Amino acid sequence: MKTRVVIIGGVAAGPKIMAKLLRTKEFDCEINLYTEEDMISYSACGLPYFIEGLIDSPEKLIVRRPEQFEEQGAHVHLNKRCIKILPDEHKVLIQDTKTDIIQEVEYDKLAITTGARPVLPPIKNLHLKNIFTVRKVQDGIDIRNKMREEQTKKAVIVGGGYIGIEMLEAFYLNGIETHLIEMDNHILSIFDPEISDMIRDEILRMSNGKVKITTSDAVIAFEGDERVKRLITAKGEIIDTDMVIISAGVTPNTEIARAAGIELGVSNAIRVNNRMQTNIKDIYAAGDCTENFHLVSKNYAWIPLGSTANKEGRCAAINIAGQYDAFPGVLGSAVTRYDGFTISLTGLTETEAKKFGFDVISSTMTKKDRAGYMPSAENITIKLVADKRSKKILGAQAIGSGDADKRINTVASAIQADQTVDEFLHLDMTYAPPFSTAVDPLLSAALLINNKIYS
């Protein structure tokens, strides 16, 4: 008899599980995927670039269409929301979002891939028009349309995380006067404060006054009739605006999981073991709705990322199919950019490493990313963080107009392999003048931190 696999959620991890199961020929299963949305398998990460105008059609963000799965024998159910999981009965309740009709669906194996949603901060009049969040393709279409209206001159972004910065780039490059407001002392507060400050300064420098950034202040109310016209901050600033993006963080969609007795962890994300199994038999979870194991801190963390969702989806599928796979965990490697200025990190920052009790030592180095005499050479700044006792590399942050991301991935690979600074500084990196310096900036940073460890 076919194993009945039910997947709830259809953006990244869900379709990945489905695709992987369909390739697992030795596993005889019937797959049903339910999503409350009207499409599946799209690149939410691509939305800022669609809004910016780099991508002409939203269709391009779609990775796979329902028909592609249907052709292979899986079933995709759009506009169908899972409202309840009944673990003892191995059933889920699915409600049609248009007719409200509820059906019972039996499963042998259930995968929860419900993702995350934007947090809506407690701001008055959030219901006003032209206030947006960035999650679904339709959000992208609506934001782009509004931004391109002739009367749209000004925008406010609430929250300076990755999405906030990406939206800032999109608006700036479209000639919109944009004001970003961040509650924290720093934008991109997952970086160390002095690195965040460098990023902020660079964004402001590059934007020639077309962009404003306010930190340590919060929006408390929107004003306008029907449409948002202005907003008021806690410090009493009044800012006129034609549109608003709320990018104040995300929260996992785990209410139905919790209600079913599934254990949650950090930030209410679903706790899974390294086989993507929840605490309840036959129920798996993957993607943005799940907690992660951090390979450096050896603690749980919630770091929802598309790259991780894909890895977890693969792992879940293999285990659902009765085979064995273990996903070791994450470093939280991430990257974004602001108009050619790359912002990337992996592992722990100095701030985080101290929290976890490491004997932290760090080095920061600014250097050209390729031979200084090459016209394409640009600065990058690398901050390495290590543990003085074990000499292990704990993390790295790299920013700059040059090739920063390449260095982050190189050091991520070393951190994942548990390398010490002594081992890492001998790394045989490629060298040619158009690509790097004879002593790569990353190795210079490693030499610097090594000197500090031994001094």
Does 333 engage in binding with its own copies (CB under 8 A)? yes
Question: Contact with its own copies (CB under 8 A): which of 84, 374, 378, 379?
Answer: 374
61 binds its own copies (CB under 8 A): yes
Q: Select from 214, 241, 254, 346 the one that contacts its own copies (CB under 8 A).
A: 346
Which of 305, 244, 243 shows the shortest CA–CA distance to 45? 305
Minimum distance from residue 346 beta carbon to its own copies (Å): 7
Of 174, 366, 401, 416, the one binding its own copies by CB under 8 A: 416
- Tell me if 423 contacts its own copies by CB under 8 A: yes
Site for its own copies in 394-413 (CB under 8 A): 403, 405-413
Q: Total residues at the site for its own copies (CB under 8 A)?
A: 69
Site string for its own copies, 279-318 (x = CB under 8 A): ----------------x---------xxxxxxx--x----
45 is catalytic: yes
Exactly one of 45, 82, 289, 315 is catalytic; which is it?
A: 45
Q: Is 215 in the site for its own copies (CB under 8 A)?
A: no
- The CB-of-8 to its own copies minimum distance in angstroms stands at 20
| Residue 266 near residue 302 (C-beta atoms within 8 A) | yes
128-167 residues near its own copies, rule: CB under 8 A = 162
Smallest gap, in angstroms, from Cβ of residue 11 to its own copies?
11
Interaction of residue 206 with its own copies, rule CB under 8 A: no
Long-range contacts of 200-207 (CB under 8 A, 24+ apart): 202/338, 202/341, 202/399, 203/165, 203/168, 203/338, 203/341, 206/338, 206/339, 206/341, 207/172, 207/339
Provide the minimum distance between the beta carbon of 121 and its own copies in the complex, in angstroms, as a whole number.
Answer: 24
Among 46, 118, 252, 287, binds its own copies (CB under 8 A): 46
Q: How far is the CB of 334 from its own copies (least distance, A)?
A: 6
Minimum distance between the CB of residue 373 and its own copies, rounded to whole angstroms?
4
Does the protein bind its own copies through residue 361 (CB under 8 A)? no
Active site residues: 45
For its own copies, the binding residues (CB under 8 A) are 12, 43, 45-46, 49, 54-55, 60-61, 162, 295, 305-311, 314, 327-328, 330-337, 342, 344, 346, 371-375, 403, 405-414, 416-419, 423-424, 426-436, 438-440, 447
